[in-house]
Amino acid sequence: MVKVYTAGNTTVVFTVAPAHDEILMINKKRALRPAEVEEIKKYFLRKMPEQPNQEDINVIHENGLVEISIKKYPKPDITAV
């Protein structure tokens, strides 16, 4: 699943994959402020069914963009005997 949001001049792309979730923030007009990054990260973390551990969150800052990767762990198959 991929969803695209806007927050002013910032575009946010939220991607859900089986092994991880990605939050990509892009602002072509200016650098993203740390407070903006934290606010957007908290918004998406609140929406997750299970809160990830801090060590499972990887943040990459580049010129005009921030990528946050959140590792997910597969649920054990309790139907296997």
Q: Which domain holds residue 16?
A: 2-71
81 in any annotated domain: no
Average pLDDT score over the chain = 90
35 in any annotated domain: yes
Under the banding of pLDDT at 50, 70 and 90, the label for residue 61 is: very high
Q: What is the pLDDT of residues 7-22, one digit of tens each?
A: 889 999 999 998 899 9
CATH of the domain at 21: 3.40.1720.10
Identity of the residue numbered 62? E
12 in any annotated domain: yes
7 in any annotated domain: yes
Q: What is the pLDDT of residues 24-38, one digit of tens each?
A: 999 999 999 999 999
C-alpha distance from residue 42 to each of 46, 78, 79 (Å): 6, 31, 34
Domains in the chain, number: 1
